[in-house]
């Protein structure tokens, strides 16, 4: 059986199912209890699990640090950070403690903590509410970084993240929370971390895109006179390099699309890996279609900052025609 759900509904359903399945799962964060979360992703869970859903003080460093302690004590904390940019306040706890607990204790302790956080542009939010820092989180050894691009993958990847023995940053594209519905399995549904998906098969050029950029890419390929293969990594770290490499070996061309700034964005990591794994199969220089190297602008200029279908299609044409 399956239900038509939006991403925010799939997230909420998965949280409830994982709490029912495992009594060690606890939810906490700013306004996740009484208010049901800033995007209502935890709405009603306080009533269903009254002793396992907690509102936290306004302090992201304390939210992440509390999770490290809970995890070390045998719990599976799921913390919500209201917007990804607020997680910078908790980055020291992530980098210095959560990601290192296993190695620091020589395997004596692990840190099965999931940090859920909405990210990215597209909803015309205020400053510090629309950034995409996946490359920064992926640079921290010991930390997994997961980004769903659809409701069904949202359920499967979140379940896998909560069950993972190590810390996971689970980045939820705000633009997709309520803009897309699809069939989501009602039964236990787990998508393994570190496995990319081929969203659309093609033979002329490979486009790698994730989060809300996947949907824009799938729309953009309709305006391109080429047979385009679209790959969704789903997990930024660990990255499924093999699937991307095999696709590029087939097509000979590659475009990476993300909404974070181009310089040192995760597209640079993907292109670098392809020079190691598929260099002699490349028939053209890889292209990157990204956000600009500026702070994400206020909402009046947000649409000009984010890669749209026109920019993505132009990048694909450059790769095909080179």
Q: Residues 149-168: pLDDT tens digits?
A: 999 999 999 999 999 999 99
Take residue 261 and report the two structure tokens written for it.
Answer: 């700034």
Q: Is the pTM of this model over 0.75?
A: yes
Neighbour tally for 61: CB within 10 Å:
15
The residues, ordered by sequence, that sit 6+ positions from 105 with a Cβ below 8 Å of its Cβ are none
Backbone φ, ψ for residue 178 (5° rounding): -130, 15
Backbone φ, ψ for residue 65 (5° rounding): -65, -40
Take residue 147 and report the two structure tokens written for it.
Answer: 């980004």
Q: Give the model's pLDDT for residue 7.
A: 97
pLDDT at 124 > cutoff 90:
no
Q: What is the pLDDT of residues 247-280, one digit of tens each?
A: 999 999 999 999 999 999 999 999 999 999 999 9
pLDDT at 300 > cutoff 90:
no
Q: What is the pLDDT of residues 20-76, one digit of tens each?
A: 999 999 999 999 999 999 999 999 999 999 999 999 999 999 999 999 999 999 999
Angle (CA) 290-237-101 rounded to 5° is: 135
Helix (H, G, I), strand (E, B) or coil at 127: coil
CA distance 43 to 100: 32
The two beta strands, 168-173 and 197-200, are: unpaired
CA distance 166 to 245: 27
Helix/strand number for the chain, H first, E second = 12, 14
Q: Give the model's pLDDT for residue 285.
A: 97
DSSP state of 298: P
Take residue 300 and report the two structure tokens written for it.
Answer: 């009046």
- 258 flagged as catalytic: no
Q: Give the model's pLDDT for residue 127.
A: 84
CA distance 118 to 130: 9
CA distance 226 to 320: 8
Angle (CA) 136-140-146 rounded to 5° is: 70
Set 97, 129, 189, 258: catalytic member = 129
CA distance 291 to 310: 14
């Amino acid at each position: 059986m399956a239900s038509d759900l939006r991403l925010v509904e799939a997230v909420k359903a998965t949280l409830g199912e994982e709490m029912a399945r495992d009594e060690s799962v606890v939810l906490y964060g700013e306004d996740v209890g009484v208010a049901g979360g800033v995007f209502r992703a935890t709405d009603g869970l306080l009533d269903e699990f009254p002793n396992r859903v907690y509102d936290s003080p306004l302090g992201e460093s304390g939210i992440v640090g509390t999770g490290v302690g809970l995890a070390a004590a045998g719990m599976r904390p799921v913390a919500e950070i209201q917007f990804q940019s607020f997680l910078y306040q908790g980055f020291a706890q992530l980098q210095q403690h959560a990601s290192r607990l296993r190695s620091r204790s020589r395997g004596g302790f692990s840190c099965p903590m999931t940090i859920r956080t909405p990210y990215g542009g597209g909803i015309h939010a205020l400053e510090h509410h629309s950034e995409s820092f996946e490359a920064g989180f992926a640079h921290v050894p010991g930390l997994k970084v997961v980004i769903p691009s659809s409701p069904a993958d949202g359920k499967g990847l979140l379940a896998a993240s909560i069950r993972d023995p190590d810390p996971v940053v689970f980045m939820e594209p705000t633009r997709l929370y309520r803009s897309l519905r699809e069939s989501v399995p009602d039964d236990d549904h787990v998508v393994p971390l570190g496995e990319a998906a081929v969203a659309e098969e093609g033979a002329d050029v490979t486009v790698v895109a994730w989060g809300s950029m996947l949907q824009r890419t799938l729309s953009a390929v309709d305006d391109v006179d080429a047979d385009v293969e679209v790959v969704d990594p789903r997990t930024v770290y660990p990255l499924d390099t093999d699937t991307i490499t095999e696709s590029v070996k087939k097509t000979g061309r590659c475009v990476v699309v993300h909404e974070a700034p181009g310089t040192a964005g995760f597209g640079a990591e993907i292109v670098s890996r392809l020079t190691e794994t598929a260099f002699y199969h490349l028939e053209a220089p890889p292209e990157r279609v990204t956000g600009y190297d500026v702070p994400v602008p206020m909402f009046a200029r947000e649409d000009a900052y984010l890669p749209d279908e026109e920019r993505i299609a132009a990048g694909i044409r450059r790769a095909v025609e080179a």
